[in-house]
Structures are given as C-alpha cells and as structure tokens.
Chains A and B, each alone.
Chain A
C-alpha cells in the first residue's frame, strides 16, 4: 500500500529514468573525490564533450522507439565531416560546406529509411550495410589521411561563446529544444510511440505510416551530417574514422535514458539524462585519472545498472 502513490505516478510517463538517480550519485561521488570536477569550466567541458553525442542520441531515441536502430550514424558523421573539411580546404565557404554535409547525412538517412521501411530489411542489417558504404566512401575520398588546412572560420566559430556558453552547447541545446517541441506539440509525439507500439493502429487511423517512418530515419541521417560541424570544428580537421563507434555511445545513452527497444516506450528527456550521465562518468573518471580502457568497461556497467534500476521500478509499480 505504501507504493500506492508511486503506482499512480507510474500510470503517467515516468519522468525520472533510472539513470537520473545514477547521475546524481555520480555527481556527488565525483564532486567529493575528483579534484577539480565540481568547477564551472569542467561542468561546461562535460557539456561540450557531450554535444556531438546528444545530436546523434536525439534521433536515435525516436528510431529506437519505432523498434529500429541506426548503426550508420558514426560512419555517416565521419563522411560528412570529411566532405565539409574538403570543401573548406578548397575555400568554398562554411555555408556550402555545411549544406553539403547535411545533404550527405540526409541522403544516407533516407537510404536507411527506404531499406528498412520500404524494402523491409532488418534495421540492424540495413544500417550495418550503409555504415560500411559511408565508411568506405570516407576512406576513398581522403585516401585514409586527415584533411587539414581547413582555414580559421570553422575553428573560430567552434571556439566562440554567447553569454559565456560554448558554441557547441548552444547548438546541442537548440537541437534538443527542436526535438522536444516536435514531440510535445506536433503529431510526431503520437506517431513515434505508435510506430513502435502499434503500427497497425496508426495505419488504420489513415496515417501514411511508411512516410513518417522513413522521415524518422532521415532525421537520423540529417543530424549525423549536422554533427559534422561540431566534430570538424573541434578537431580543426576532417578525419575519415573520427566518429567510428559513436553510434554505440548514442545507443547506450538512449538506453540509459530509459527508452526501450519494444512497444514504443521512450522519452527525449531521458536521453538527455543518459547523455549527461555518460559524459559525467567519462569526465569524472578522467579527473580521477582512471585509464581509458577501464572507462569503456564503466560505460557497460552504467548501461546495465540503469536497466536494472528501471526494471526494478517497473516491477514495483506493476504490483498495484
């Protein structure tokens, strides 16, 4: 009976994913034991490091909610970054470079959507295929070398601040706002959970299911392309394998944030918490001089811990 109110709350969207508790715990532990962790520059640093990840994790949340997956994001991001850097090197200007990067991303996103939705390939297989294509193209384009000498415009933009907030955090915050508003205030908020939870019901409601579904994969590609702006700016170069494996961090962040691969369950706020938790963990371990190999293992532990907390909470609230 003591859990009556909690069970009642469970009937709505659970606002705090399991990772929320972990994040608070991590912040406290690192603030106590990590020297220099709880300083403003370091906190901003967590945000900067997490910005690219958030750009990928936002569309990844929607894709996973449709019971899908996009493994190609890291490779597409690398390819878009190489294209952007090459155009900058040839002094074509930032606008053209960004448009080209976005175009590359969008093209791959639409390809993913068509493969999965129209042709019915399993998302794992389809996006593994486009991962290979994008990675291969990036290597061919550069001959495996980094593209340097991209001029000062992009690095300067990346280093700039507004109201004391780094550029990359502003971009990430803007992206979050756009996604959040789209889910909160447009039909997308109903369609995405329906695609994963009951596709048939959505089709019977007369919605053009396939188009919406492809659009979600397209958004994944577009965001991967746009993320190239931040990554290339940070490195002052384009590297064909810069973002390899980043999609797995994005998937981890989404899962840590309480989104499920089944039945259309998930929230963007959860993903934000997931990105911050992974960022805080990496940063904190760095501050405490833990080796990078152990950091990889710690993310694995984090994913499992978040899932255990979530399933325990779900189990409790199911005993009504």
Chain B
C-alpha cells in the first residue's frame, strides 16, 4: 500500500500511509486507539475507498471496489466485530457464500462442508460439533470459528485485527502455531494487537501509526517495549485545562469495593473524592463503560459494594440518580438528550423531582432553574426554547451536564465527553468539568484520549480485560506511577 490517504468529515483518518508486507511474514500494525489502523484495514479489504494512494498486490496496482473484489484477490480479514450468523451452524458459517456444491444442480454437499469445517476446527483445536448453532458459542469459541472462516478462503493476505483479545493462553498458542504454518506456506499476514509480548513472539516487522501517519517501521530485534510505547505516544504536550489541582481532596464521594458485575467486570475497587477528576483509561473493550454502567446500576452487580457519599446504592439507575449520581453517556444523542425537544425541556427532565417535590409543575420556578443552568454552563443558545438538535456538539454536551445540575447531582460520570466535538468546545467542556469539581463535586471520566486524561485528571485508573490493573497519580511516588501517557499505555497493553 502506497501513500494511502482517507478523510472522513472533520477527520483526516489516514495521511499518506504506506505499508509493505512480504509474503511469508507477519507484519504487526501498532498504534493507539484512533491511530488509523482500522481505517487502513478497511481500505485494504475494499470497504473504504482511499482518497489518494494505491494498493499493489504482487507488484500490480489493483482497484478494490468492494469486499468481493478484495476477496477474489486473496485478501481475508478477521474483524474484531464478529461476522457470524447466529442461527446458522458452524459449517454453514465458515462456508457462507462458498458452500461446496453437490451433485444435483443447486444443491449443497453438506457432508463435504461439515468434513472440511471439521478439519479446519481440528487444526485450531476447537472440539465442538460443527452442527452447533453459532449463537450458542462463547466469545472465544466464536473467535476461533471466525479464524477458521478466514483460513478456509485460502487467503494470500490475511489480516488479523486483535484476534487474541478474547482468547486464553492455550488458545493463543494454538493460534500462533497456525499462524506460523501459514507464514511458512507463503501467506502475508497483517497482525494487529495491543498485547506487546505477542508482537515480539510472532512479528517479523512492526509498523507504527500515529494520528493517521507512518511513524516508524522496524524489526522486533531493534526495539523494545519502552521504545514502541514512546513511538506510539509521540511528543509530550504538557498543557492542562484545569484551574488548579487540589492538594487535598475532600470526602470520599464514590467508594467501590471488589465489584463484580454480570457484564464481566471483575473485582473493581476504586474511590473518587470531592474536588477530584479521576480518569478511567484503557483501550477500547477494556471494560470502562461496563464499569461505569455497573456503578450506575444499569448493569446487574453480582457482588461487591458501591457507596455514594457513604450510602450504599441500590435499585439500579433510579437509586443512583436519587443518590446524586449523574451519567453523561458516550452517545449523547441517543442516551443523553431528546433532540427534538427544547433546551428548557432537556435541562429539566432529570430535575423535576428535586425542583417540584410536591409534584405540581410551576413554570416560573422551572424557567428560573433553566436560566440558571444556561448561565452557569454558558450554553450558547438563542433562547431556552431552542431545539437541542440545532445546538453544536459542545453545547449539546453542556445541556446533558446541565440536566444533572437541576437534579442536584454531586458525582458525575463522563463517558468519552469530548468525542465528536471540536477543539474549542473541548477546552470549554474541560472548563465545565473544572468548575464542577471546584464546586465540590467529583468526576469520574472515561476517556480513550491519553492527552486528555493526563491534562484533565488528578488521578487515573487503568483498565485491561475488565479489571482495574493500576492507578496513576499526578504526583506519583516513583516514575512508574506518575500520570503520563506512557505509563497509561504500558498498563493498558498486555505485556510481561
């Protein structure tokens, strides 16, 4: 791939990226969330068209108009999102669209199909009956079937996007054995993983992307974990958006102990104090949103305790809201706002019970409360009657925050608060967060953007595989536990 560029509205996802993969080698693609890895893969498999640049296979320039084109040229991709059909059996899934033909015209040779599927699954060490329906499989089993599906295509270029994310150590060993066999037989493999030790075990060549650009291409022998992490993070920008960091935070507002939840959260223990912004960092899929949902009571807790200002939480989201917990969700348009209603209505919706304890609505009091929120958060709207749909992303986000103001919330959970809003609005939103904690509230902020975590948070917990794996502090006691992008990335990626 030479000089590939691809832009999306507002983002330059790929900027002049080149990647050369040799037959019979494993090429590792490395980069932070949003570095452009997925976009590059989608270009290679024909799902996205590049704005500029060319793709050469066997030295010949090719045009990939569709995934079918890419497949014909021998490109097979194992995506992170599973592509299995829930109510088809394993053999049907593996050979979907390529069913072996039987003797009668139009007929499928079920015997041959199941036998071939059996051989593929045996090679990967999955002992399940091929007649089993895909939806009954666990995540790891599904991943293995997914790999079998890609292998069945006799691909010459095989892309594996975090194939080991859901696998156990033994399954990973089996997978690597298969990968080595494929490499031996001349397949070119592009391998994406966040587990650094794997990269050294299986990789022949490493290319690092950052902000949609090539940063480096090197061999594992000439690098180290620290070096790679440094390349992924890049230059340190030490800006902060906070007015001041408090030396002595106040009382504990959120106290979570050994929380296990049905959504997979295992043994999470953390606390957030009044006046603090605490980050929840980690890679996509590490379980940050799940932890927030478990704390908020939106997903069922199995064991452990969640206390807000000393009081145990119960009764799910209703209890959480009454205890003063506010969730500012990632998808503000679907989970946080009623887009076709006014600023006035949106701001009031969570605070009706607090504002009107008697149950009777009073327009004047409502208008005062809304005006107060608009003023305090400096929401740029011509009038409270403006439909939220017409506000900018940053102002919409402020409306979501404002809604919890009227509810009297003191503990805020922000899930990716700056996703999809522009730089100016970001700075203003950081100002809002700063104002919240300065006023005695506590904030737990989930963020995939490392610079944001470092610039805004007093402390941060790092998650991996649905566990909290470490805590970093602005004023750490040693270089290993200071809040820096390198340290976050080191903890978030599996190695050692």
Contacts and interface: CB of A to CB of B under 8 A. Distances in A.
Contacts of A13: 87, 133
Interface in A198-215: 198, 200-207
Given A10-B136, A12-B132, A202 B86 contact: no
B9 interface: no
Nearest to B69: A206
B470 interface: no
A187 B113 CA distance: 12
Interface stretch (A128-136, A146-154, A189-197, A286-294): A189-197
Interface string B88-127: 1100100111110010101110100000000000000000
B107 A185 contact: yes
A194 B96 contact: yes
B159 to A, nearest CB: 13
A189 B108 contact: yes
Nearest to B134: A197
B96 A205 contact: yes
B133 A12 contact: yes
Interface string B401-445: 000000000000000000000000000000000000000000000
Contact of B87 (A203, A204, A206, A265): A265
A185 to B, nearest CB: 5
B87 A202 contact: no
A162 interface: no
Contact of A185 (B97, B102, B135): B102
Contact of B99 (A190, A201, A204): A190
A194 B85 CA distance: 5
B175 interface: no
Contacts of A264: 85-88
Contact of B83 (A10, A186, A198): A198
Interface residues of chain B: helix, strand, loop or mixed (majority): loop
A205 B68 CA distance: 7
Contacts of B107: 185-186
A11 B90 CA distance: 11
Interface in A236-287: 263-266
A207 B99 CA distance: 11
B135 A201 contact: no
Contacts of A263: 86-87, 135
B71 interface: yes
A9 to B, nearest CB: 10
B79 to A, nearest CB: 9
B85 A193 contact: yes
A254 B89 CA distance: 22
Interface string B135-147: 1100000000000
A198 B84 contact: yes
Residue of A12, A185, A198 with most partner-chain B CB within 10 A? A198
Residue of B84, B87, B104 with most partner-chain A CB within 10 A? B87
A204 B133 CA distance: 20
Contacts of B97: 190, 202, 205-207
A158 B109 CA distance: 38
A202 B136 contact: no
Given A186-B106, A205-B98, A197 B133 contact: no
Contact of B92 (A189, A196, A204): A189
B131 to A, nearest CB: 6
A6 B95 CA distance: 28
Contacts of B83: 198, 200-201, 204
- Contact-residue size bin, chain B (C-beta under 8 Å from the other chain): 20 to 34
Given A186-B106, A206-B97, A207-B97, A201 B67 contact: no
Contacts of A193: 85-88
B85 A198 contact: yes
Interface string B46-87: 000000000000000000000110011000000000011111
A206 B67 contact: yes
Contact of B88 (A10, A194, A200): A194
Residue of A187, A189, A200, A264 with most partner-chain B CB within 10 A? A187
A156 B108 CA distance: 40
A197 B87 contact: yes
Contacts of A12: 89, 131-133
Nearest to B104: A185
Contacts of B108: 185-187, 189-190
Contacts of B85: 190, 193-194, 197-198, 201-202, 264
Contacts of A196: 87
Nearest to A7: B136
A198 B133 contact: no
A227 B13 CA distance: 55
Interface string B447-488: 000000000000000000000000000000000000000000
A265 B84 CA distance: 14
B263 to A, nearest CB: 16
B92 A190 contact: yes
A264 B89 CA distance: 12
Contacts of A189: 92, 108
Contacts of B71: 204, 206
Interface in A1-52: 10-13
Residue of B95, B106, B136 with most partner-chain A CB within 10 A? B136
Contacts of A10: 136
Contacts of B135: 263
Nearest to B138: A320
B133 A202 contact: no
Nearest to A204: B67
Contact of A11 (B98, B104, B133): B133
Contacts of B136: 10-11
A181 to B, nearest CB: 9
A8 B87 CA distance: 15
Interface in A152-183: none
A42 B48 CA distance: 62
A137 B88 CA distance: 41
Contact of B84 (A201, A203, A206): A201
Contacts of A200: 83
Contacts of B68: 206
A186 B110 CA distance: 10
Contacts of B133: 11-13
Nearest to A185: B107
A10 B99 CA distance: 25
Contacts of A202: 85, 96-97
Given A189-B108, A201-B84, 8 more contacts: A190-B95, A193-B86, A193-B87, A193-B88, A198-B86, A202-B97, A206-B67, A206-B71
9 contacts: A11-B132, A185-B107, A190-B85, A206-B67, A206-B97, A264-B86, A264-B87, A265-B87, A266-B87
Interface of B: 67-68, 71-72, 83-89, 92, 95-99, 102, 104, 106-108, 110, 129, 131-133, 135-136
Q: State the 7 A-B residue pairs at the shortest beta-carbon distance, nearest first.
A: A205-B97, A206-B68, A201-B83, A197-B85, A11-B136, A11-B132, A194-B85
Interface of A: 10-13, 185-187, 189-190, 193-194, 196-198, 200-207, 263-266
